Amino acid sequence: MSQKHHTEGCQVTWPRRFYDCTLNEKLLYSSFLLLAGLAYLMALAYLYTSYNGIDGKPGLSVEDVAENYYGNRSGTRLESALRGPMSGYIDTEHRNHVIEWLKSGTSEADYERIIKPIFAERCVMCHSAASGLKIPDLSSYEGIKQVANVDTGVSLHSLMKVSHIHLFGIALVALGIGLVFRFALLPDWFQCTLTLLPFIAIFVDIAAWFLTKWDPIYAYTVIIAGGLLGLSWALQILISLYQIWFLRCRMTIESGGTG
Ligand code: HEC
C-alpha cells in the first residue's frame, strides 16, 4: 500500500505529485504555464524580427547574432554603402580613395583635400539637408563621421542593461515554471537536470553575449544556450500540462527517489 500522508518533522514524506493537487491548483498551474509558454513564443518572434537580416541576408543566422554583438569590424556603414547600394554613384578609383581614407583614420585635413570634392560632385545632391531626403547628410565632415565609425556592435552599456533585466526576469520565470514542474512524476535525475537547465542556460547565454563582443565565435554559444533554454522550458511545460490533466495515481506506481 502506498497511501500518502503528509507528515511533519523529519519522517519520510512522499513528494506531492500533480494527481495530489486540488482542481484549483491544477487550474492555477495550467494557466500560468500556458501564459508563460505564450510569452516565450512572443519573445522568440520578437527576437526573430529584430535579428533577422542584420547581416543583409534574410533569416536568422549565426552571422546576425555575431554582427549584433561584435559588429562588422571590417567595415563602416559608409564602406558597405559604397560597395553596395551606392556603388552606382562612384567609380572605382574614387571609391578606393574614400576607402583608403576610412582605413587611414578619417583625418579632417585629408577630408578637405580629397574627400570633400568627391562627395560634393557625386553624393551631396541627395545627401544634404537641402535634398529633404531622410538619409545621412554627407555635406560636412561631421555628417560623414556619423557613417564612418567602425561598427562595433551593441554597446557594453546597453548590454548590461539588457543582461540584468533578463537575469532577473528569467530567474523568476524559471522559478515559477520549476515550482510547478516539481510535481511531475519522473526519474529524479531527469527531473533535477531539467529543473537546473534553464538557470544554467541563461547564465551561459548572457555570458556569451559579452564574450561575443570580444570574439564573434561565441555567437554559436549564444544560439546553443538560447536553444537549450527554450527546449528545457518546452519540456517542463509540456510534461507538466500532460501530467496535470492525464496522469492518474496508480497504486502500483512507486515514486523513484524517496530519500
Ligand atoms: C540619387 C540620390 C543619391 C546619390 C547620388 C547618393 N545616394 Fe546614398 N543614399 C540615397 C538614398 C535614397 C539612401 C537611403 C536608401 C538606401 O539605403 O538605399 C542612401 C543611403 C546611403 C547611405 C546609408 C546607408 C545605411 O547604412 O543606412 C550611405 C552611407 C550613402 N548613401 C552614401 C552615399 C555616397 C558615399 C554617395 C556618393 C558616392 C551616395 N550615397 C550617393 C541616395 C543617394
Residues 94 and 132 both lie in one domain: yes
Distance of CA 99 from the midpoint of ligand 1 (Å): 15
- The CB of 89 under 6 Å from ligand 1? The reply is yes
- Identity (one letter) of the amino acid at 67? E
Taking the CA atoms of 212, 217, 221 and 223 in sequence, report the sign of the dihedral they define: positive
Residues 113 and 169 both lie in one domain: no
**Overall number of domains in the chain:** 2
- The CB of 126 under 6 Å from ligand 1? The reply is yes
Residues 39 and 82 both lie in one domain: no
Which of the four pLDDT bands, split at 50, 70 and 90, describes residue 258? very low
In-domain check, residue 99: yes
Residues 50 and 100 both lie in one domain: no
Domain end call among 118, 151, 184: 151
Which of the four pLDDT bands, split at 50, 70 and 90, describes residue 53? low
- The CB of 147 under 6 Å from ligand 1? The reply is yes
Q: Which of the residue ranges 18-27, 73-82, 122-131 would you say has the lowest mean pLDDT?
A: 73-82
| Res 50 pLDDT > 80 | no
Predicted local distance difference test score (pLDDT) of residue 5: 54
- The CB of 111 under 6 Å from ligand 1? The reply is no
Residues 144 and 168 both lie in one domain: no
Which atom of ligand 1 has the smallest separation from the CA of 125? 5
Distance of CA 86 from the midpoint of ligand 1 (Å): 5
In-domain check, residue 11: no
d(CA 137, CA 144): 7
Which tens digits make up the pLDDT trace of 152-190?
777 888 899 999 999 999 999 999 999 999 999 999 999
Mutate to test the pocket of ligand 1, among 97, 128, 135, 146 (most ligand atoms within 8 A of CB): 135
What is the domain extent for residue 29?
18-66+154-246
- Identity (one letter) of the amino acid at 76? T
In-domain check, residue 3: no
Residues 234 and 206 both lie in one domain: yes
Domain end call among 100, 116, 151: 151
Residues 94 and 23 both lie in one domain: no
In-domain check, residue 110: yes
d(CA 187, CA 60): 36
Nearest CA to ligand 1 atom 36: 123
In-domain check, residue 194: yes
In-domain check, residue 128: yes
Predicted local distance difference test score (pLDDT) of residue 11: 67
> How many CB atoms within 10 Å of residue 242?
12
> Could you tell me which residues come within 8 angstroms of residue 58 by beta carbon, excluding any fewer than 6 positions away?
52
| pTM, two decimal places | 0.62
Rounded average pLDDT over 98-120: 91
Mutate to test the pocket of ligand 1, among 96, 99, 126, 144 (most ligand atoms within 8 A of CB): 126
d(CA 233, CA 195): 9
Which tens digits make up the pLDDT trace of 202-248?
999 999 999 998 898 999 999 999 999 999 999 999 999 999 999 98
Residues 232 and 168 both lie in one domain: yes
Note whether 82 and 99 are within 8 A (CB). yes
Residues 178 and 60 both lie in one domain: yes
Residues 128 and 79 both lie in one domain: yes
HEC profile of the chain? CCCCCCCCCCCCCCCCCHHHCCHHHHHHHHHHHHHHHHHHHHHHHHHHHHHCCCCCCCCCCHHHHHHHHHCEEEEEHHHHHHHCCCHHHCCHHHHHHHHHHHHCCCCHHHHHHHHHHHHHHHCCCCCCHHHCCCCCCCCCHHHHHHHHCEECCCCHHHHHHHHHHHHHHHHHHHHHHHHHHCCCCCCHHHHHHHHHHHHHHHHHHHHHHHHHHHCHHHHHHHHHHHHHHHHHHHHHHHHHHHHHHHCCCCCCCCCCCCC
Residues 189 and 229 both lie in one domain: yes
Range of 88-92, 94-98, 192-196 with top mean pLDDT: 192-196
Residues 191 and 158 both lie in one domain: yes
In-domain check, residue 34: yes
In-domain check, residue 253: no
Domain end call among 95, 117, 151: 151
